[in-house]
Structure 1
């Protein structure tokens, strides 16, 4: 969601304005509708604009703001008040003594706003954030120093937040975190803070992850992390294992296309050291022998929920009761969760607010928890009892691609580990997946399919078993980046209502791999569609006769259902990409969406 960047350092080495603008550029993938910066060497200079970062950069042209050594920046994803210059961050107090940026939601902002208004404060925005600088100012007027005023103001807040503040005439950034990501970067010539590492990866790869309830104070020389009572917290400095080049486009037109093409290497990294072909075994050293008695519960949102469905289905097929839950609908009080439960939280960023709330409820209920995430040091990685990293590498495009494939692979291995069943079939399937994806990338005709159906009224996606979550994910990708209507269905459900919507301008994408009963039944569903005049696109490995009923065929290498589900997804990603490309959509930054959804 919103993005935060902060820098304090040596002006002769880095200019704060340049660092902030580059940092905001590195956070654009998170989704935003306005941007702003505040510089604070002398008096605080705030500049902010509705729209893309380029609008802010244009507004800054010709301004004499260079030379500052401390500042904060922000990209806003609207929650309280529409996108506008006045609602953009940073926000200040009435006298311009302090400027604040904020990611999250302050749940008690309305009574705080009323209290401040009763005291004579006039608000300039509709946001929940603006109460923070006014609270700080009130404590300053009561005689507190800047750090204590900041701490007292934070103590009044309820909700989720990552907050950074700067004061006029002081080369210091004050920050605090609760249920919203905040990471510190340690440089040789200054220090950084951000909501995510890409904001400052060009300058440093040494980071400290701030935990809930902690405060950070950054000066050009020092970084100090303290608890709510002001006691210094012992921190761990971690090294990021990727660099700025890994997070670039590498010559591709869009991050999404680059990340689709990175899937073979991402899968190999996910499997490395975990799949033993000689012994036909899978070993997850991160996970000890887990003990639980009830069904396994998966909690996730969006694309990660589709991966959770995929993983739960694999566990069920191996004799372990499992169920996926939408994290936004999950409450421990309404679910059979307790000390005998195993709860698996699936989240690419490790910061998804709904998933983190569900994970915390499971922890509070005494369940054993596993976080399946892509981000080392994320909230999910730190708060779950155990963590399984998917190792997809940095993913910048808002629409998840390589992280979904890596989640599929990671959850497949997890299913084997939890079921304690023979892994030979899975080892064989996973071994061939990276090369199979490369074959799809090299031979796909998805671009021609996109050209044929870019003007369709709607798009349907169908599949059975492991292919059902892939159908849902295919529909989600098309919605996200093309803004066209798309729906995914279990193939057998078409005849129970959705078939009424089928027309000759409603292409149906049918995922059919293998030659088992599920595949044969899906062919039957395709016949129903074909008989009603709808165009059919078959995503298939050719083991059935579905091609004879299809108008177009997207081929995947022959294999079992498991591998086929991962490979078929790549074809559907490519279809979505090329439809969006032909419609000239904002592929990497689709409207209204964010990469890391840190509000509920």
Structure 2
């Protein structure tokens, strides 16, 4: 959600801060601001709306400085106002930016009011600024004051702080929200996402839970939760500036939809090159762990949850293991039953999804011994907390509505399924070779599905005038109907719901009329005839059908029945192929409606708060 960037250098850092905030826009935000500190003053500029508006104000006011912090805010405590925007300042001498939520902010607010502090905002963040100032006033230096303050906070936070009293250093802290250090030559940085600083450096240190950090021009010191100085590994990020550029596309979402053949090919490359499904795909010791698990528990949110729902069909049918899939934000708050011999699989594009991370911690506390993370961001929090890891290699995904992250998650989950089947004696050499061939054909089939874009664009013009839509699927393709409805909701703001097609007659059929388009996922599988019967129920009530059918399905377009044919049926990997047209339908419908495709209202890319 919110984004942080901070810098200390022998040059003006304002351009670095502004560029960093622009690269964090994809995470979702409603206001932004920067603050710079020098020996004479702490200056701040904030604006609601886009970073460009804040940048214009900074230029008009002649902002410059060699030490500064910046922030994009997604409102939690307090409305979308300039007073609530970050950075927050205490007594004109200390500025702070914060990602996360402080749960005991009201208690701390009352305490600080008793100490004479006045509040200008409705945020939980201003409490932290005053608390750190209080400890500095009592004699501590900036780092010591930060370390004392965070011990009194309950909740999640990533913090970056500067002070007029110490204009030669920048400090930060992390608990539950991502924060990293960027290492330069004579300059160093703090950021919540490597994309914010990739224009300046690719050498980064990922802070761990409870860490605090002191950043100067000369170097960096990291301290653990007990305030002991520690060494954290330096990584070279593979995020490139080129991957963050829009190129010839109108939106990042369109770019990322069209990057899926390459992203899937990269994700399955190790399997294809090896010519077999090997446990080593998931890390050292995977063969022993995966060979003895007796079931699978999948935890995820949003689009990743739908990937998990698809995997459940695969895991139970192919690997012969029981599989349950739960929304992480629900699982973490219920009294769940745990089998230590079940594998807990967490799925997250960012690797920082708070509900999924907390659900993973809860699962471990319940007694789950074996954990596996499927993630797109190396060294993020969830993979680091997991025993085994599979990285999806989708590359940077900027658009808020996930596309290539979803299809690469499906590719990774299919590989996991086949490895489990192999280790549990459910897969012979002939079947393995067949699955390998299906996987090899997948990127090309996805490209064929992308070639349907002009036909789907025509449909989108019709959808743009609608206010509601239904999506139907059966079996393996019901989760794809769910994903299609979610995409349409997210970026076009058309209300859309998805149902198993067989459930129509149990209630949703009451909604069907000429103004309710019904999208049907209709692959040429064993449920095709059942789907056709469900379609007749829709036509009998005057509903208009938009059918995505395989090339080898026996479908004929007619009045009220529109058909687009995807490639020939792709067997168990058919859900991946049918994802492409529902993504394109959502994208072009949003385009026709004139919405902000890459930054839909009220949503954020990386959900790092509850």
Q: TM-score range by the shorter chain?
A: over 0.9
Verify: 1:339 aligned to 2:340, yes or no.
Answer: yes
Deviations 1:421-477 (A, max 9, x none): 323342222211111111122233110110122112311111111111100000000
- Of 96, 99, 107, which residue of structure 1 is paired with 2:95? 99
> Secondary structure of 1:334's match?
coil
Partner of 2:588: 578
Matched-pair contact (CA < 8 Å) for 1:8–1:191: yes
Aligned residue runs from structure 1 range 92-131, under 5 A: 92-93=89-90, 95-131=91-127
Q: Distance between the aligned counterparts of 1:280 and 1:116, measured in 2?
A: 59
How far off its partner does 1:229 sit? 2.7
How far off its partner does 1:138 sit? 1.1
Q: Distance between the aligned counterparts of 2:404 and 2:21, measured in 1?
A: 24
Q: Distance between the aligned counterparts of 1:150 and 1:75, measured in 2?
A: 21
Q: Distance between the aligned counterparts of 2:528 and 2:239, measured in 1?
A: 41
Partner of 2:132: 136
Partner of 2:63: 65
> Secondary structure of 2:393's match?
coil
Matched-pair contact (CA < 8 Å) for 1:20–1:71: yes
Deviations 1:397-419 (A, max 9, x none): 00000000000110011111123
Aligned residue runs from structure 1 range 58-207, under 5 A: 58-66=56-64, 68-93=65-90, 95-168=91-164, 169-207=166-204
> Secondary structure of 2:443's match?
helix
Q: How many residues align?
A: 594
How far off its partner does 1:507 sit? 1.1
Q: Distance between the aligned counterparts of 1:473 and 1:506, measured in 2?
A: 18
Deviations 1:247-301 (A, max 9, x none): 1111211000000000000000000112358558786252333255553110000
Q: Relative to 1, partners in 2 of residues 1:285 and 1:31: Cα closer, same or farther, differing over 3 Å?
A: closer
Partner of 2:289: 290
Deviations 1:462-494 (A, max 9, x none): 111111110000000000000110111111111
Partner of 1:303: 303
Verify: 1:529 aligned to 2:526, yes or no.
Answer: no
Partner of 1:230: 227
Q: Relative to 1, partners in 2 of residues 1:279 and 1:102: Cα closer, same or farther, differing over 3 Å?
A: closer
Deviates further, 74-83 or 56-65: 56-65
How far off its partner does 1:559 sit? 2.6
Deviates further, 357-366 or 581-590: 357-366
Partner of 2:363: 362
Verify: 1:439 aligned to 2:448, yes or no.
Answer: yes
TM-score (norm 1): 0.96
Verify: 1:327 aligned to 2:336, yes or no.
Answer: no
Q: Relative to 1, partners in 2 of residues 1:74 and 1:301: Cα closer, same or farther, differing over 3 Å?
A: same
Q: Distance between the aligned counterparts of 2:220 and 2:461, measured in 1?
A: 54
Deviations 1:206-263 (A, max 9, x none): 1111010111111111011111232221211111123111111112110000000000
Deviations 1:125-161 (A, max 9, x none): 0000101111111112212222211111111111000
> Secondary structure of 1:150's match?
helix
Q: Relative to 1, partners in 2 of residues 1:457 and 1:285: Cα closer, same or farther, differing over 3 Å?
A: closer
Deviations 1:102-139 (A, max 9, x none): 00000111100011112221100000010111111111
Q: Distance between the aligned counterparts of 2:190 and 2:182, measured in 1?
A: 6
Deviates further, 272-281 or 20-29: 272-281
Partner of 1:271: 268
Q: Distance between the aligned counterparts of 1:293 and 1:193, measured in 2?
A: 40
> Secondary structure of 2:361's match?
helix
How far off its partner does 1:22 sit? 0.3
Q: Distance between the aligned counterparts of 2:264 and 2:356, measured in 1?
A: 24
- Of 587, 592, 595, which residue of structure 1 is paired with 2:597? 587
Matched-pair contact (CA < 8 Å) for 1:328–1:354: yes
Q: Distance between the aligned counterparts of 1:251 and 1:7, measured in 2?
A: 32
Matched-pair contact (CA < 8 Å) for 2:209–2:225: no
Q: Distance between the aligned counterparts of 1:547 and 1:219, measured in 2?
A: 68
How far off its partner does 1:204 sit? 1.1
Q: Relative to 1, partners in 2 of residues 1:491 and 1:425: Cα closer, same or farther, differing over 3 Å?
A: farther
Partner of 1:551: 561
Partner of 1:539: 548
- Of 391, 394, 406, which residue of structure 1 is paired with 2:393? 391
Q: Distance between the aligned counterparts of 1:278 and 1:333, measured in 2?
A: 42
Q: Distance between the aligned counterparts of 2:277 and 2:18, measured in 1?
A: 50
Deviates further, 381-390 or 439-448: 439-448
Q: Distance between the aligned counterparts of 1:332 and 1:63, measured in 2?
A: 48
Q: Relative to 1, partners in 2 of residues 1:477 and 1:301: Cα closer, same or farther, differing over 3 Å?
A: same
Deviates further, 312-321 or 53-62: 53-62
Q: Distance between the aligned counterparts of 2:511 and 2:273, measured in 1?
A: 47
Ranges in structure 2 where 5+ consecutive residues have no aligned partner: none
Pairwise CA RMSD of aligned residues?
1.6
Q: Distance between the aligned counterparts of 1:63 and 1:344, measured in 2?
A: 50
> Secondary structure of 1:407's match?
helix
